[in-house]
Amino acid sequence: MTKNVLSVRNLRKTFTLHTIDGRTVTSLHGVDLDVAEGEHVALAGPSGAGKSSLLRCVHRSYLPDSGMVTLGTENGPVDLTALPDRDMARLRGRELGYVSQFLSAPPRTGPMEVVAAAGRRRGMSRADARDAAADALQRLALDEALWDVDCSVLSGGERQRVNIAAGTVNPPRLLLLDEPVSALDPANRERALDLIASLSAQGVAVLAVFHDLEAMHRLASRVVRFEEGRIAAEGTAAEVLGAVA
Ligand SMILES: Nc1ncnc2c1ncn2[C@@H]1O[C@H](COP(=O)(O)OP(=O)(O)OP(=O)(O)O)[C@@H](O)[C@H]1O
Residues 160-169: pLDDT tens digits? 999 999 999 9
Confirm or reject: Cβ of 27 under 6 Å from ligand 1. yes
- pLDDT at 15 exceeding the cut of 60: yes
Position 191 scores a pLDDT of 96
- pLDDT at 1 exceeding the cut of 70: no
Query: pLDDT tens digit string along 205-218?
Result: 999 999 889 999 99
Query: pLDDT tens digit string along 16-33?
Result: 887 777 788 999 999 999
- What is d(CA 209, CA 213) in angstroms, rounded to the nearest whole number? 10
Overall average pLDDT of the 117-146 stretch: 96
Distances (CA, A) of 125 to 95, 170, 181: 17, 11, 29
Q: Which atom of ligand 1 has the smallest separation from the CA of 54?
A: 18
Position 244 scores a pLDDT of 61
User: CA torsion sign, 104 to 98 to 132 to 197?
Assistant: negative
- What is d(CA 196, CA 158) in angstroms, rounded to the nearest whole number? 17
> Of 5-9, 17-21, 95-99, where does mean pLDDT reach its minimum?
17-21
Ligand 1 centroid to 52 CA: how many Å? 7
- Which of 15, 54, 39 is closest to 209 using CA atoms? 54
Closest residue by Cα to atom 31, ligand 1, is 48
ipTM over 0.85: yes
H or E element, residue 15: strand 4-17
Position 148 scores a pLDDT of 96
Give the chain's domains with CATH numbers. Answer: 1-84+209-245 (3.40.50.300)
